[in-house]
Amino acid sequence: MPTHELEDQLRSTLARAAADFEHPDQARQRLLQRDYHPRRENRRLAAGITAGAALAVGLAAVITVVAHGPASKAAPLAAPAVRTRLLAAIDTASGDILYAKGGPAPDGGTWQSPAYPQPGQKVHVHTLGLGPDGTAFKDEEESFAMPSGNDSYTSNLDQGGLQLSGTILTVNHVRHVWGEWHSTFVLGFALDAAGIRAEIANGQFKVVGPAELHGQQAVQLEINVPPSNEAPPHVTAARLWVDATTYLPMQQYVRMSNGEQNVTDYTFLPPTAENLAKLRPRIPADYTRVGRTQVTGPKPKTAK
């Protein structure tokens, strides 16, 4: 047992050292401004991930996790500083085209413009799914207006997808036909980017530290994933790598409760004419425009 004198000295010294904490009020304010509602965050993340997983299925995107380079010895930035830089970067790139690629096919993926749409903005999403032999099994563009109002947006996120009304243009490369029609649909992918932004804005992440990804300096983040009571498969871990210079998302990794691992790479493309053309499926001249059922085929029978 330390002597009383030593104990008193320890109390006094620790109290003075603790009093050295600079700007505790600012830290408190930052802490109290955060949303600690884990259920909503979890579901929001899950919604984004479900969307990502759906995309991954379409693109045969269950791939081996890429090996990441060793972390450098530079001291990692604290989460609040990273959050500020991330949000600034996202705002700067919000008008870009976000290209997300979740599979081994060299030309497949999803292009979305704008990358982070504002309520009311017209959004275009082009999904190109390629099989292992390069055959396109899905080539579709959805166009819609981003729903306005945070409440409806959030509640839709909580339901696992964004229910939308807009235009679908689909090219069937097997039947050599295409069609365009107005429809309602649930779009998951748009939530991927929006979900990431929401996680960052709410501070639902930890900074793991510097890393190297595809030969570039990156910052690795760990997204907080609370335990889920939802039916499996659900997300058990999620990580995000952001560019150490631009602070834009580079890659997201998720692990599901069934052991599946999904990796999605992100690239932000400037809205040049060449890049904007990627938002629309390419329709070969010899393809015929037909009605919806002829493009998509008969609806599958409902299982009894």
Partner 1 sequence: MDWVSDAASKRQFEGFAAEASDSLLRTGYLMTGDVREAEDLVQETFLRVARRWNRVRSMDHPAAYARRILINLVLDEAGRRSRQQAELGPQDAGIDAADESATRALREVDDFAEFRWALARLPARQRAVLVLRYWEDLPVAEVADVLGCSAGTVTSTASRAAARLAQALTRSGLPSTGPATRPS
**Smallest distance, partner 1 to C-beta of residue 278, A:** 38
Q: How far is it, in rounded angstroms, from Cα 128 to Cα 159?
A: 25
The torsion angles phi and psi of 155, rounded to 5 degrees, stand at: -65, -35
**Smallest distance, partner 1 to C-beta of residue 118, A:** 27
**Smallest distance, partner 1 to C-beta of residue 83, A:** 10
What is the total residue count of the chain? 304
Nearer to partner 1, 7 or 260 (CB): 7
**Smallest distance, partner 1 to C-beta of residue 73, A:** 11
Q: How far is it, in rounded angstroms, from Cα 226 to Cα 261?
A: 18
Nearer to partner 1, 217 or 224 (CB): 224
Q: How far is it, in rounded angstroms, from Cα 200 to Cα 194?
A: 10
Nearer to partner 1, 41 or 140 (CB): 41
CA 85 to chain centroid = 17
End-to-end CA gap in the chain: 74
The torsion angles phi and psi of 248, rounded to 5 degrees, stand at: -90, 145
Measured on CA atoms in the order 130, 68, 207, 41, is the torsion positive or negative? positive
Helix (H, G, I), strand (E, B) or coil at 75: coil
Nearer to partner 1, 21 or 304 (CB): 21
Helix (H, G, I), strand (E, B) or coil at 61: coil
**Smallest distance, partner 1 to C-beta of residue 4, A:** 10
**Smallest distance, partner 1 to C-beta of residue 81, A:** 7
CA angle (138, 182, 53) in 5-degree steps? 35
Q: How far is it, in rounded angstroms, from Cα 109 to Cα 235?
A: 22
Nearer to partner 1, 69 or 80 (CB): 80
Nearer to partner 1, 76 or 271 (CB): 76
**Smallest distance, partner 1 to C-beta of residue 30, A:** 7
Nearer to partner 1, 195 or 203 (CB): 203
Nearer to partner 1, 14 or 277 (CB): 14
* Cross-strand partners of 56: none
Interface residues toward partner 1, by CB under 8 A: 1-3, 5-7, 9-18, 20-24, 27-28, 30-32, 34, 36-39, 78-81, 203-204, 206-207, 224, 226-227, 229
**Smallest distance, partner 1 to C-beta of residue 84, A:** 12
DSSP-derived pairing of the beta strands 177-187 and 288-289: parallel
Q: Which of 174, 224, 218 lies closest to 199 in space, CA to CA? A: 224
